[in-house]
Amino acid sequence: MLNRLNNFLSAIIVPASAESRPENTLQLATAVLLIEVMKSDADMAIQEQDEILKILKEKFHLSDVEVTHLTELGHRTASAANDFHQFTSIINRELQPAEKIRIIEYMWQVAYADGKISAHENHLMRKISDLLYIPHRDYIAAKMRAKPADLE
């Protein structure tokens, strides 16, 4: 974990070779998917942005500055991306099934942060879970775990 973080920070501070570029990191792939959930509905609520920052900080044990850099890079990367495969393939390669399910749960937390789920968010969540090879029962379980009690 520390090596990955070190590679990520080195890539931001100084130019790096293609093999260690931040686009190839698990942190960036996760950040982009969370950002895509936030962008998928018409209203990008501040609650969703705050939830992304909280999740990235906790999951990757990052400082406020590191999380800020990661989300800025995530926004730029998400804007330039043509598809999700480049990000889901990193996650599929690096994470075990339980960890991938946890990513889906994080994505649902972002979707629920503004208090409502749009059809676009639902569609994106299903698409990403399919790309991560998440069984439907695990997808639904992650959705239920992420759902705030006040929305039930």
Residue 6 has pLDDT above 90, yes or no: no
In a domain, 11, yes or no: no
In a domain, 110, yes or no: yes
**Per-residue model confidence (pLDDT) at position 76:** 94
CA distance 102 to 44: 22
Higher pLDDT pick, 48 / 17: 48
pTM, entire model: 0.81
In a domain, 43, yes or no: yes
In a domain, 82, yes or no: yes
In a domain, 49, yes or no: yes
**Per-residue model confidence (pLDDT) at position 16:** 38
CA neighbor of 49 nearest in space, from 60, 37, 59: 37
CA distance 119 to 24: 30
CA distance 137 to 81: 29
The per-residue pLDDT for range 80-95, each reduced to its tens digit, is 999 999 999 999 999 9
CATH code of the domain covering residue 101: 1.10.3680.10
The per-residue pLDDT for range 49-69, each reduced to its tens digit, is 999 999 999 999 999 999 999
Q: Which H or E run includes 1?
A: none
Take residue 138 and report the two structure tokens written for it: 């695990």
Structural domains counted in the chain? 1
Domain of residue 80: give its range.
29-147
In a domain, 9, yes or no: no
